[in-house]
Amino acid sequence: MSDSAQRQGDAFENLLHEERRFPPSEEFAAQALAQPSLYEEARSRGTEFWADQARACLSWETDFTQTLDWSEAPFAKWFVGGKLNAAYNALDRHVEEGRGDRVAIHFEGEPGDTRSYTYAELTESVKKAANAFESLGVQKGDRVAVYLPMIPEAVITMLACARIGAVHSVVFGGFSADALRSRIDDAEAKLVVTADGTYRRGKPSALKPAVDAALEKEGSTITNVVVVRRNNEPVEWTEGRDVWWDDVVDTASSEHTAVAHDSEHPLFILYTSGTTGKPKGILHTTGGFLTQTAFTHKYTFDLRPETDVFWCTADIGWVTGHSYVTYAPLINGATQLMYEGTPDTPHQGRWWELIEKYKVSILYTAPTAIRTFMKWGRDIPKKYDLSSVRVLGSVGEPINPEAWMWYREIIGGGKAPIVDTWWQTETGAHMISPMPGVTSTKPGSAQVAVPGIAVDVVDEMGQSVPNGSGGYLVVREPWPSMLRGIWGDPERFKQTYWSRFDDMYFAGDGAKKDEDGDIWLLGRVDDVMNVSGHRLSTTEIESALVSHPSVAEAAVVGAKDETTGEAVVAFVILRGSAKDDDDIVTTLRNHVGKEIGPIAKPRNILVVPELPKTRSGKIMRRLLKDVAEGREVGDATTLADNTVMQQIAASLRK
């Protein structure tokens, strides 16, 4: 067993001593949408279970004739022959069915400005945006890059693309100009939709300059940039290319007919970090993605669209923002809250103030946020009325039992069930999660597969491990919202996910089954880090570091961090000409920020004389991880030069 597997094992041993169980209250269980019969139904119906859900959750213009075509595995086709429009499903049909006056989005800006959109208003805005984008030449199949803050225009833009059949590629606003450009190039996007900026910690924060910088170098496929006015800061303007949202969208016609697209028509591309330096464009299509996101949103959160107020705190730049902000809540006709800013602006009680104000009943957030609130202290949320909260969700990384208990007690009033949802950009929707009215929850475990999903934990040979053992998390059967590929790279798709084990999707995560068969996630087993629930690749940051003229070599590891889960720690060897002083650390951190984005800036950069390598030249990251986490260094016998770790230790003592 490798050291890291050993460490994961030790962590799991501690978790096994977790004896606490929280069954749903009788009251909750009795009224819950998901009953034990849902699992039974999924088992007995097999793949047809998903046909039932596709018809229950969505309006199809043309019904499908085949539920799943897996003949070209691993390239799946779901709901074959079916035709539907995602935006029609999220908007028009609610209006047609008399729900036009229901609030779809309550928006709260960081400075405190508010806007609410009813379903009728949001439908009208999306129709206008669709007309505007079409007038700029966007057609079915074209790619549109979206580089926007958390404002309603982000949702409007995504749905306008879906309405046309254009494929959106949202790039998180915290990514740099270079990262934006490489994503624009890879997808050959035609249009960028951005904003002058947003507000961050009480101050205007710019976005448009990054778009300008991204498009500076010649040869881009972009013909227009649509700019939303958000913070009214002055921006540079390229005549002929840049247009204001107000000028093109607000003046457009509000008549727009949604044409139905094939169930397998591409809906979006979302780039995520893999184990190489080049991000992967994860491709999702329409019918399957919408079915599973809507289904899970309804049952995992026990959603009552007439009365609930749902709040998913994820940014639109991540998959959680796609599945559980833009698509599922609107498909399900829910009312949701969207908040632009940071949790501590203007004070550390902002989130709880928002919950009280909007009577949020379902909160879906990440463990890193919960741990931050724990640090700030329970007195802050205690000042607010959180009695509206009835279901809590967690996503993005393993939630430690202390954070889980705090979440339950302080935010959930000791009674709201917590659903710890495991899934990925690639899976599109929840795959492992308790059902809030059925599962007796365990602090720290995601527990059971969603009805209709076949996950397992297997050993090196791909054999299912018995309860009480650990291994690799896999998915054994295709699922509706599975990725359909990596944009432009079918080989990489097969290689990355389908080559490790025969006929199984390998998720890249380690996991264990406890004595009851419940699943505990143990983190990534590959070179992908999870910082504050955001995926970063060690290789990508290493490439960024070595692209700086002062750096000869770099190795990056994820080290445990109390708040962010993992933190980026970089070891660098400088070129002979470069000076090792404080400035170089700041310079390199900023360089990574420029190359990838502020989220990728290493927490620590350690300048070292050598890096530990095997005889074949592979960097032994686990030894560096020991150093980064302040542990005694593990077995170093396979090093080509076994004095390297001593040299590193000596250099760090200096």
Residue ranges of the annotated binding site for Mg(2+) are 546, 548, 551
The string of DSSP letters for 598-653 reads GGG--SEEEE-S---BBTT--B-HHHHHHHHTTPPP---TTBSSTTHHHHHHHHHH
If the CB atoms of residues 151 and 399 are measured against ligand PRX, the closer one turns out to be 399
Site map 518..547 versus ligand PRX, x via CB under 6 A: ---x--x-----x----x------------
Tell which positions 393-412 bind ligand PRX, by CB under 6 A: 395-398
If the CB atoms of residues 208 and 524 are measured against ligand PRX, the closer one turns out to be 524
Q: Report which of 524, 528, 526, 496 is spatially closest to residue 509, judged by C-alpha positions.
A: 524
How many other CB atoms sit within 10 Å of the CB of residue 43? 11
The secondary structure of 458-471, three-state, reads ECCCCCECCCCCEE
If the CB atoms of residues 258 and 529 are measured against ligand PRX, the closer one turns out to be 529
Site map 366..395 versus ligand PRX, x via CB under 6 A: -----------------------------x
Using only C-alpha atoms, what is the Rg of the chain? Answer: 24
C-alpha 441/C-alpha 418 separation (Å) is 7
425 binds ligand PRX (CB under 6 A): yes
Q: How far is the CA of 91 from the CAs of 123, 289, 327, 446, in angstroms?
A: 5, 17, 10, 32
Write out the two tokens for 294.
């809507």
Site map 434..473 versus ligand PRX, x via CB under 6 A: ------------x---------------------------
C-alpha 264/C-alpha 373 separation (Å) is 41
C-alpha 75/C-alpha 69 separation (Å) is 9
C-alpha 212/C-alpha 225 separation (Å) is 9
170 binds ligand PRX (CB under 6 A): no
293 binds ligand PRX (CB under 6 A): no
From the list 244-252, 295-303, 503-511, 592-600, the region that binds ligand PRX by CB under 6 A is 503-511
Q: How many residues bind ligand PRX (CB under 6 A)?
A: 22
320 binds ligand PRX (CB under 6 A): yes
Q: Which of 49, 119, 271, 423 binds ligand PRX (CB under 6 A)?
A: 423
Q: Return binding residues for ATP.
A: 396-398, 420-425, 509, 524, 535
C-alpha 654/C-alpha 651 separation (Å) is 5
Q: Return binding residues.
A: 200-203, 320, 396-398, 420-425, 509, 524, 532, 535, 546, 548, 551
For residue 486, the minimal CB distance to ligand PRX (Å) is: 13
Exposure of 345 by Cβ count < 10 A (0-12 exposed, 13-18 middle, 19+ buried)?
middle
Tell which positions 218-277 bind ligand PRX, by CB under 6 A: 272
* Contact between 130 and 175 (Cβ < 8 Å): no
If the CB atoms of residues 282 and 608 are measured against ligand PRX, the closer one turns out to be 282
475 binds ligand PRX (CB under 6 A): no
421 binds ligand PRX (CB under 6 A): yes
Tell which positions 547-586 bind ligand PRX, by CB under 6 A: none
328 alpha carbon, distance to own chain's centre: 14
For residue 466, the minimal CB distance to ligand PRX (Å) is: 22
Q: Which of 279, 436, 437, 508 binds ligand PRX (CB under 6 A)?
A: 508
C-alpha 107/C-alpha 99 separation (Å) is 19
C-alpha 338/C-alpha 375 separation (Å) is 24
Interacting residues with ligand PRX (CB under 6 A): 272, 318-320, 395-398, 420-425, 446, 507-509, 521, 524, 530, 535
